[in-house]
Amino acid sequence: MADKIWVYIDQFNGEAIPSSWEAIGAARVLADQFSGGVTALVAGEQVKGAAELAVQYGADQVYFCDDATLKDFRAEPYASLLSGLAKEHQPEVILFPTTSRGRELAAMVAVDLKTGVLPDVTALEVQDGSVIATRPVYGGKLLTKAVCSTRPQLITLRVRAFPTPEADSSRTGNLSEVPPAVSEDDIQTKVVGYTESSGRVSLNDAGVIVSGGRGVSNNPVLMPPEDMDENEIEIWRAQQGFKLIGDLAEVLGAAVGASRAAVDAGYVPYDHQVGQTGKVVSPDVYIACGISGAIQHQAGMRTSKVIVAINKDPEAPIFKMARFGVVGDLFEILPHLTEAFKNRLSS
């Protein structure tokens, strides 16, 4: 009998996005309650490796489509493929990681299948044959338990909200290759390329984030070069400060985040912004440096597992949510912290 619980494995350039494994983990828990196994879906180019990994992480059946038309994610052909498979096999639930691709894909599949999508979910439970998804709303101020009355229930899981299962290389499963659903001529868009290198850790996936706020530009000790005007000096100071943040991030394999104040001031691009109008992140460790912790920023990182705050103002609201706090000069603390981690983590 076909599995009732499906998982979409998100990938980029053939490599699976790690949060897909969290989704398989969550799927396994659901599958137990629906008496069946877990089916994974992966599409792209050269994705057989990802398909095999999916089995190791807990999939029993994997449908994969390996095609040049799917090399770059485009919602139209991916959605048509997934919708077609779902119509054929009638799953109860399809889980997706909440990446830019996962959300868009779930959205379009929902239209195809005339069903509902519950995005950015932080917890799942089953009641009377329905999955109840807990999701934050109003910028995280409230929690809802949402349900979808139709099938399949399409659910995207917040990244890092669910545990990563252990990979078991001895696990076996069934891999089935399927053809694409749409030909290139019928696809209305083309991905031309990328304008930034994908070298740095993305905020979404990062297990550790080191974030800088406006306070990062305030190092009184620094002497700026002579020929700069005030605006340039401020940016220069900020860049020096963010360099310290970057050094720590590098040692920890972390992503660099920023508060809205730092982005608005022009210290870092918007891509780094954590907060209600930036990215909502849920890393294991969030180290906030020179960030006061205003409500809008809190909305973006409040579900981080361990929050560390470094700020010279003991009254900064961030300390109320921090597991560990240091009231002190971040320009002195950060280099020592980087050194301390370098020594301990390399051993």
Partner 1 sequence: MDFALTDEHRMVQHMVKGFAQKEVAPIIKEYDRKQAMAPFVLPRMGELGILGICLPVRYGGQGMDYIALGLACEELEAVDSTLRVVMSVHVGLNSLALLQWGTEEQKEQFLVPQARGEKIACFGLTEPGAGSDVAAMDSTARLSGDKYIINGEKMWISLATVADHALIVARTNPDASDPHDGLSAFMVELDRPGVSCGDIHGKLGVRAGSTGWLAFQNVEIPRQNLIGEEGEGFKIAMSCLDNGRYTVAAGATGLIRASLESSVKYAGERRAFGREIGKFQLVQQKIAYMVQSFEAAQLLYLRAGWMKNQGVRNTRETSLAKWFATDASFDAASEAIQIHGAYGYSDEYDVERYLRNAKGAILYEGTSEIHQLMQAGFALGYRDDVPLRCELPPFDLDAWRSE
Partner 2 sequence: MKIIVCVKQVPDTAAKVVVENGQVTWGDTPLVINPWDEYAVETALLQQEAHGGDVTVISFGGEEAKEALKHALAMGCGNAILVSEPELGNADSLVTSHVLAAAIQKIGDVDLVFFGRQAIDGDVGVTAAQTARVLGWPAYTLVSAISELDPGNGSIRVERSVEEGRQVVEGKLPAVVSVVKDIGDPRYPSFMGIRKASRAEIPIWSVTELGAEVSEPVVTWPEITNPPKQEVVTEIVSGDSSKEIAESLAGKIIEEKVL
**Cα–Cα distance for residue pair 24/288, rounded to 1 Å:** 31
Residue 311 binds to partner 2 (criterion: CB under 8 A)? no
Shortest distance, position 228 Cβ to partner 2, whole Å: 25
Which of partner 2, partner 1, none does 317 bind, CB closer than 5 to 8 A by kind? Answer: partner 1
Beta bridge partners of residue 12, listed in sequence order: 15
Range 312-341, binding partner 2 (CB under 8 A): 319-329, 332-333, 336-337, 339-341
Quick one: how far is CA 175 from the chain centroid? 27
Nearer to partner 1, 264 or 332 (CB): 264
Asked if 270 is part of the footprint of partner 2 (rule: CB under 8 A), the reply reads: yes
Handedness of CA 155, 157, 163, 168 (dihedral sign): positive
Element (DSSP H or E) covering residue 288: strand 285-289
315 touches, from partner 1, partner 2, none (C-beta below 5 to 8 Å by class): partner 1
Nearer to partner 1, 177 or 264 (CB): 264
Query: Using the rule CB under 8 A, which residue among 123, 126, 147, 167 binds partner 2?
Result: 147
Task: Give the binding range for partner 2 (CB under 8 A) out of 36-44, 203-211, 219-227, 237-245.
Answer: 203-211
Positions in the binding site for partner 1 (CB under 8 A): 264, 315, 317
- Kindly determine how many residues on this chain lie close enough to bind partner 2 according to the rule CB under 8 A: 93
Angstrom distance (rounded) from CA 338 to CA 245: 9
Least separation in angstroms between CB 243 and partner 1: 24
Query: Cβ atoms within 10 A of the Cβ of 254, count?
Result: 24
Which secondary structure element, helix H or strand E, spans residue 118, and what is its range? strand 117-121
Closest CA to 6 of 50, 37, 51: 37
Q: Which is nearer to partner 2, 35 or 197 (CB)?
A: 197
One of 35, 169, 172, 190 touching partner 2 (CB under 8 A): 190
Residue from the set 2, 111, 222, 228 that interacts with partner 2 by CB under 8 A:
111
Burial of 189 (0-12, 13-18, 19+ CB in 10 A): exposed
Which of 33, 71, 75, 235 is the binder for partner 2 (CB under 8 A)? 75
The residue (of 229 and 315) whose beta carbon lies closer to partner 1 is: 315
Say how far apart CA 15 and CA 341 lie, in whole Å: 29
Work out how close the CB of 302 gets to partner 2 at its nearest, in angstroms, rounded to a whole number.
8
Q: Which residues contact 257 (CB under 8 A, 6 or more apart)?
A: 203, 209, 210, 211, 212, 272, 273, 274, 279, 281, 286, 301
Partner in contact with 240, chosen from partner 2, partner 1, none, beta carbon below 5 to 8 Å by kind: none
Minimum CB separation from partner 1 for residue 314, in Å? Answer: 11
Residue range at the interface with partner 2 (CB under 8 A); choices 29-37, 48-56, 57-65, 194-202:
194-202
CB of 317 to partner 1, least distance (A): 6
The answer to whether 11 contacts partner 2 (rule: CB under 8 A) is: no
By CB under 8 A, residue 106 contacts partner 2: yes
Cα angle for residues 57, 202, 23 (degrees, 5° grid):
25
How far apart, in whole angstroms, are the C-alpha atoms of residue 330 and residue 241? 9
Q: Should residue 186 be labelled a site residue for partner 2 when binding is judged by CB under 8 A? A: no
| Using rule CB under 8 A, residue 212 touches partner 2 | no
**Nearest Cα residue to 39 out of 152, 130, 146, 164:** 152
Per partner kind, with CB cut-offs from 5 to 8 A, the member of partner 2, partner 1, none near residue 277 is partner 2
Q: How far is CA 11 from the centre of its chain?
A: 12
Question: Quick one: 102 or 278, whose CB is closer to partner 1?
Answer: 278
Residue 79, H or E segment:
helix 75-89
Please check whether residue 259 is in contact with residue 209, taking contact to mean a CB–CB distance below 8 angstroms.
no
Q: Position 120: which residue type?
A: D
Candidates 30, 51, 70, 148; binder of partner 2 (CB under 8 A) is 148
Structural contact between residues 92 and 128, judged by C-beta atoms closer than 8 angstroms: no
